[in-house]
Amino acid sequence: MLLIRPIRPEDAGAFLELSIAAGAGMTSLPTEMERIEHKIESSVASFAREVESPGDETYLFVAEDRASGRIVGTCALFAAVGLHRPFYSYKIVRFAHSSMELDHFEEVDTLMMVNEYRGAAEVASLFLRPDARGNQNGKFLSRSRFLFLAQFGERFADLVMAEMRGVHAEDGASPFWDGLGRHFFDMEFIKADRLSSLGKYQFIADLMPKFPIYIRLLPSDAQAVIGQPHPATRPAYELLLREGFRFEGCVDVFDAGPTLHCPRSEIRGVRKSRLAEIAWVV
């Protein structure tokens, strides 16, 4: 049996173990103790704060195995992203090309950098240890966030988004980054991803191309992963789709993982949630 509860300062060591186990690409799960302690402090302060409108609050949860007391998973909610620094994405935009002279018409997909999710709430940081993934525990952990959204809706923006981890190899190499990003940055994918996780976004605006990128000009392996979730992330991706989230063309600027979104009131777990009192029978 799992207990989903707010993270506490004494969970820092267990959270570090989870972050390491999650692997590359999970930028919201840092592997430096100083950053973990800062995240926990921010979460504790957010839960304690009287909120009139959503701001930079972060709500971090852990899944505790009640039998052993072991921390086996985590998930998080961000009240509103992009308020103080940009939240960049690539958006797939389709252009029509036609030539009357050649009697030829075709539609061409491009990538354009956008800041489309400024002010949206985010569900994030979902990770459960492999040995704890039975008995519908993953679904329980993911959907617990929707119950919190339902009960404390005033703390969150009306639109909720989720940035899914994209495809990359076990060593952290990303086909999309290798096909596009590394041509504009003198660094590996893991370093760029880490800078982003530290809140350093200006380098993206400074160095990424300012004009549409024609997808068909990218290497075939880079094209193939655009909008595709990491295999380990696909169950979470499918669950969000069943909850009412949808993909409308925005992808991560580093690994091209899909970004999903849904109005908070239309999320299945929010719509169908009910408050009830329970009685413990001894």
| Residue 80: closest CA among 123, 27, 30, 36 | 123
Decide if 214 contacts 110 (C-beta within 8 A). yes
Distance (Å, whole) CA 8 – CA 214 = 46
Element (H, E) at 125: strand 121-128
| Residue 166: closest CA among 247, 234, 74 | 234
Distance (Å, whole) CA 9 – CA 44 = 8
Number of continuous H segments (helices) and E segments (strands) in the chain:
9, 10
Element (H, E) at 111: strand 104-114
230 is catalytic: yes
Distance of CA 109 to the CA centre of its chain: 24
Distance (Å, whole) CA 130 – CA 138 = 10
Which two structure tokens, joined as six digits, stand for 219?
A: 């290497």
Alpha-carbon distances, residue 106 vs 76, 100, 170, 250 (angstroms): 42, 12, 37, 22
Catalytic residue among 97, 183, 230, 261: 230
Can you tell me whether residue 42 is helix, strand or coil?
Answer: helix
Distance (Å, whole) CA 227 – CA 208 = 19
Distance (Å, whole) CA 61 – CA 75 = 5
Q: Which residues are catalytic?
A: 230
